[in-house]
A and B are shown apart, each in its own frame.
Chain A
Amino acid sequence: MPTPAELQERIRAALPGADVTVDDLTGGGDHFRAEIVSDRFEGLSRIQQHKLVYDVFGQEIGGAIHALSIKTSTPGATP
């Protein structure tokens, strides 16, 4: 079962320099919430930003990771 720390690490590895926070929403190890601030998102649409994050986990989304809620922003953007 994936842990928030593991997900956090994997997102950081894929998006170097990103500020990543992952919470386990239910405590059950399958519903996660990720907040990511990265300059890699600069100039991308929300769809493209979220896809970058989903791509880190590929087939695991909907599988081991039942739900991953994502909030993305760039360092310059107001929250």
Chain B
Amino acid sequence: MTNDEISEFIKQAIDENRVMLFMKGTPNQPACGFSARTAGALNALGVQYAALDILPDPRIREELSGLSGWPTIPQLFVNQELVGGSDIVMEMFESGELAELLGVEQPEETLEAEPEPEPVQRPIGLENRLD
């Protein structure tokens, strides 16, 4: 794959998925605490999302950061717009803004560092087309 193809692939992923998470590892097996917390927040809200592991090829991260202007991973996009990395997502989760943005109910218990063990674990990889 050329860098341009990777960039195209990333753009397509953002375009085709209302809630698109770029992370290290997968929602089931996150490879970094920041990615784990971000996926955990989405799981706790029970929203459908697509996730892409950026680790398999370092160029994914380079191209993604080039597109978004955001240097770190994870990166959450909602409706084709960058919402933020784990700090912003967690702040918004705890304040209820994330639930509002995604159009879901805020769960009664606010999760701390640990992701909820049970909730929806559908999304892995991009084959999982959601809409």
Contact = CB atoms under 8 A, between A and B. Distances in A.
Do A and B share a complex? yes
Interface of A: 46-47, 50-51, 54, 61-62, 67-71
B69 A69 contact: no
B82 interface: yes
Given A50-B87, A62-B61, A62-B72, 20 more contacts: A46-B88, A46-B92, A47-B82, A47-B83, A47-B88, A50-B84, A50-B85, A50-B88, A51-B70, A54-B71, A61-B71, A61-B72, A62-B65, A62-B71, A67-B72, A68-B72, A69-B34, A69-B87, A70-B87, A71-B87
Contacts of B91: 46, 71
Interface of B: 34, 61, 65, 69-72, 82-88, 91-92
Given A47-B82, A67-B34, A54 B88 contact: no
B38 to A, nearest CB: 12
B118 to A, nearest CB: 27
A61 B84 CA distance: 15
A51 B68 CA distance: 11
A32 B63 CA distance: 24
A21 to B, nearest CB: 15
B84 A46 contact: yes
Contacts of A47: 70, 82-84, 88
Nearest to B32: A67
B74 to A, nearest CB: 11
Nearest to B92: A46
A55 B83 CA distance: 18
A33 to B, nearest CB: 9
A65 B91 CA distance: 22
15 contacts: A46-B84, A47-B70, A47-B83, A47-B88, A50-B84, A50-B85, A50-B87, A50-B88, A51-B70, A54-B70, A54-B72, A61-B72, A62-B72, A69-B86, A69-B87
